[in-house]
Structure 1
Amino acid sequence: MFKLLHSGFDNIDIAIQGSFPPRVLAQLRDARDEAAAQMERALCHLSDGKIAVHVASHGARGGYAFLLDTGPNGANWLIKDNASPDQWNIFVSPRSTMLLANGYAETFAIIERTILNLGGRITGVSLNRVDFAMDFQTRGFELDMGRFVTHARCKLKPHWSANSTAPESDQPRSVLNGRRVESVTIGSMPGRQIIVYDKRAEAIAKQKPFWFEVWDVDRCDPELEVWRVEVRAGKTHLKDAYNIRTMDDFEDSIGDVIVNSLDRIRYLAERQTDSNVTRQAPHPLWEAAQAVASGNLLDFRSGLTPDQIRTIERDKAMEVYMKQVRGNAIGYGVAKGLDDDAIKARLPDLIADQLKAANDDSADLHKAIARTRKRLHFVTE
């Protein structure tokens, strides 16, 4: 059984030729200094409060002076401290949740509006990476690296380490958990790459509960299996192989990129006797992925709204804080010398008393509340 739970663009990295005005760059410098002083990202309201961003205390490789985050419904932004509009000063990587809630076209429109609302200019756009993902509910599926085949000129050799120096790009690399293969990656960026992996395990490990809402499944179901087939096309592959640079190019040709990738790299079915792998049948998982890729890729949306994503992220934050409260409370009881029964019976009252004693009108308390509100701005506002 390979039931499609979700398909759509999971990542679209965009380089933008253009710039922000000097006043915005000055605000970003101040926010970066504030982030360095408080040792966490600073909340900054740009251009008279039009746009809220979290600003990191550092920049990024490539000459980017500022690293910005616009929350779970937004994107990661890299910005150079340069007001010249003829330079490639802006790089935007929308979050998967932004693409889930808005689709690719509206996501790009939001990015464009954000730049223009801040007084910025856009003189050119270039796509740097596109990821298309397909999530399938399976039953008893086990990933086998030996069933992947690529072009005859490509060696099928496992890569167990990211430090391998082998020159061939279309070779499988796998990640194992115990004796179970959790993912296999073929190819490398910025070229073409295909990865098959246990998406349920990844969603749990990386605390991405919104995926269970997208799939409309019970996250606590121990029998649930969700495997992802993801095709990634980097800058080199998009431009050199397909001449895809702009959003118009993307809409015209991205389907060819996905379909051809799944044809060139295949995952074969089990128990086949034909020694010629070109005549062997693809695995049902691959057939399902090829069928999805043959449709209109530009139509896929998750159905989640920005408000739903914000609620999910807020619930996740509350869960994390509650686990921390419980863990710290237990530590407090142990440090106080209480035995297990006393911790269970008395700890809630002891903690309540301590919290009441600390709940004064001190400046430190107000500062702590203010900092936390800034940290959670995008899930509470």
Structure 2
Amino acid sequence: MTAFGIPYVETQLRVARADFAVNFRAPWFEPDREALIVPPGTKATEYTGVDETATVSSGGRVRGLRAGAIANRQIAIYDKRAEVIQSNKLGWLTIWNAARMSSGHPAIDLSDRNTSQVWRFEMRLGSKQLRNKFELRNWDDIRNSIGDAFTNATRRIRYCEPTLDSNRARWPPHSLWRLFKAIIANDLMVNCCGVLPSDVIQANRAAKMRELDAQLCGLFVTRAAISDVQADDFEEFMDQHVAALMRLSDEHATDLNERLTKAKARYHLK
């Protein structure tokens, strides 16, 4: 931006999407849509759509799964080897072989699918997750808490090992999914703060409501005392006075919706 002569400040930066992917050499694996456990409301069909689960197959072999919306939270499990070959992205072969050779394993030969099959598990977080739920707006936010966001995502979506149990929620996580979660937890450990912004917002909201309730109670007691209300009559006084307050609100010069909007903006409680 400096080279183009375009000035900017940190507050103008906006992170709109973050992805975390792990490539597994697993010739024995084939995605199963039934094994993908997603939150209620997430569609799971074989129709290829942006916000739905997509089953991509070649002949009788499933090539990939996708669940969720890219603007929110999305998991993609697909045949990375096929993509590398079809798109001629041989740079990935160089990366994979460098990693394998450094750990004492032989290089991958893409001509042999039985030994070179690579599946990618990729979690994608869009703006609804980053900005709306986790309050991640700039690079400092990402460095501080992106690990919390991805860890939360792997709890909301799971790829499981199907069993005879009719309750899919009790299915155990697949071995590759356990490894996927472990890699996220390890690689993003320094990018976790352990507290979700939504938890902080909820705690602040509850504290403010308790504070206002205490103030309201004190005001009612004071109002009753001025009106010479006795303790035995206090409950009846409150019931009657609520009706009077409603009439006072109806007679207010400013519309109630406008007053509520201003009050929400003043406290910034989501």
Please indicate, yes or no, whether the TM-score normalized by the shorter chain is above 0.5. yes
- 1:171-219 CA-to-partner distances (Å, cap 9, x unmatched) read 4221111221111110112111110000010111111000001111333
1:121 is matched with which residue: 7, 12, 29?
A: 7
2:96 & 2:183 partners in 1: Cα distance? Answer: 16
- What secondary structure, in the 3-state scheme, does the structure 1 residue paired with 2:113 have? coil
- What secondary structure, in the 3-state scheme, does the structure 1 residue paired with 2:77 have? strand
Change (3 A) 1:157 1:120: closer
- 1:262-303 CA-to-partner distances (Å, cap 9, x unmatched) read 211111114x1222222221111111101111113388xxxx
Which residue of the partner structure matches residue 35 of structure 2? Answer: 147
Which residue of the partner structure matches residue 188 of structure 2? Answer: 297
Which residue of the partner structure matches residue 275 of structure 1? Answer: 166
The answer to whether the 8 Å contact 1:149/1:156 transfers is no
Which residue of the partner structure matches residue 113 of structure 2? Answer: 222
- What secondary structure, in the 3-state scheme, does the structure 2 residue paired with 1:237 have? helix
- Listed as ranges, the gaps of 5+ residues in structure 2 are 98-107, 191-270
- 1:197 is aligned to 2:82: no
The letter of the residue matching 1:119 is G
2:49 & 2:166 partners in 1: Cα distance? Answer: 31
Which residue of the partner structure matches residue 18 of structure 1? Answer: none
2:89 & 2:42 partners in 1: Cα distance? Answer: 35
- What secondary structure, in the 3-state scheme, does the structure 2 residue paired with 1:141 have? coil
- 1:296-342 CA-to-partner distances (Å, cap 9, x unmatched) read 3388xxxxxxxxxxxxxxxxxxxxxxxxxxxxxxxxxxxxxxxxxxx
Q: Which runs of 4+ in 1 moved over 4 A?
A: none
Structure 2 counterparts to residues 1-381 of structure 1, below 5 A: 115-123=1-9, 124-151=12-39, 153-154=40-41, 157-162=44-49, 169=51, 171-216=52-97, 217-223=108-114, 224-270=116-162, 272-297=163-188
2:169 & 2:123 partners in 1: Cα distance? Answer: 21
The letter of the residue matching 1:237 is Q
- What secondary structure, in the 3-state scheme, does the structure 2 residue paired with 1:146 have? helix
- What secondary structure, in the 3-state scheme, does the structure 2 residue paired with 1:175 have? strand
1:189 & 1:156 partners in 2: Cα distance? Answer: 13
Change (3 A) 1:200 1:266: same
Percent of pairs identical after alignment? 33
Residue 161 of structure 1, CA deviation:
3.2
- What secondary structure, in the 3-state scheme, does the structure 2 residue paired with 1:295 have? helix
- Listed as ranges, the gaps of 5+ residues in structure 1 are 1-114, 164-168, 300-381
TM-score by length of 2: 0.61
1:261 & 1:298 partners in 2: Cα distance? Answer: 15
Which residue of the partner structure matches residue 20 of structure 1? Answer: none
The answer to whether the 8 Å contact 1:184/1:196 transfers is yes
The answer to whether the 8 Å contact 1:251/1:298 transfers is no
Residue 116 of structure 1, CA deviation:
1.3
Change (3 A) 1:138 1:211: same
Figure out how many residues of one structure are paired with residues of the other and give that number. Answer: 177
Residue 156 of structure 1, CA deviation:
5.2
Instruction: Choose 1 or 2 for highest CA Rg.
Output: 2
1:213 & 1:207 partners in 2: Cα distance? Answer: 12
Aligned Cα root-mean-square deviation (Å): 1.9
2:27 & 2:148 partners in 1: Cα distance? Answer: 30
The answer to whether the 8 Å contact 2:44/2:53 transfers is yes
1:195 & 1:148 partners in 2: Cα distance? Answer: 10
